Amino acid sequence: MKRKAEKLLMMAGGIWNIVAAALTIFGYSGWFREEGTKVLSHVDKADYANTSLLDNLVQVAMIYGLFVLIMGIVTLFVARLMEGQIVDRKIMIWLGVCTVISFVSFDVIGIFFYLAALVIYLARNKALKSV
C-alpha cells in the first residue's frame, strides 16, 4: 500500500511552514519593528525600556519563525523517509505534534494539511493491521 496521499499532504504542510516562517522572519518582524518605532516616537515614549520591549517582541516573532521553519524542514524530511508498508508510531506522534502546534498558533492551513495527513495515516495503519 503506497502512502502517496500522506506524503503529498506532509510535503504541502512542510512547504507551507517554510513559506509561513519566511514571511514571519523577513516580513512580519521588520514590519512590526517599523510600526512599533513609529508608534513609540509618535507618542514620545521612545525611551530605553520601551524600545527594549519592542526588540524583545521582535525576537519572539523571529524565534517563532525559526521554530516553524525547523518544523517544516523536519516534516519534509519525515515525508521523504516514509515507507509504504511500515506502521511507524514516530510519524503518528510527529503528525500529532504538528497538528497541535498548528492549533495553538491558529494556523488554519497547517491544521488542514497535518490533520488530513494524520487521519489518512491512521486509517491506512488500521487497514494494514487488519490484513
Cell reading at 58: 521582535
CA dihedral (105, 106, 110, 115) positive or negative: positive
pLDDT of the residue at 91: 87
- Residue 26 DSSP symbol: I
Distance between CA atoms of 91 and 56, rounded to whole angstroms? Answer: 34
What type of residue sits at position 65?
A: G
pTM exceeds 0.95, yes or no: no
- Judge whether 47 and 76 are in contact, CB under 8 Å: no
Contacts of 61 (CB under 8 A, 6+ apart): 24, 28, 29, 32
Rank 25-34, 53-62, 72-81, 120-129 by mean pLDDT and report only the highest. Answer: 72-81
Q: What single-letter DSSP state applies at residue 47?
A: S
13-32 pLDDT, tens digit per residue, is: 999 999 999 998 898 888 87
How far CA 115 is from CA of 35, 91, 105, in Å, comes to: 35, 13, 14
Determine phi and psi for 4, rounding to 5 degrees: -65, -40
Q: What is the pLDDT of residues 63-101, one digit of tens each?
A: 999 999 999 999 999 999 887 777 778 888 999 999 999
Q: What residue ranges do the domains of the chain occupy?
A: 4-126
- Average of per-residue pLDDT values in the chain: 85
Q: Report the alpha-carbon distance of residue 28 to residue 57 in Å, rounded.
A: 11
- Would you say 119 and 26 are in contact if contact means Cβ atoms under 8 Å apart? no
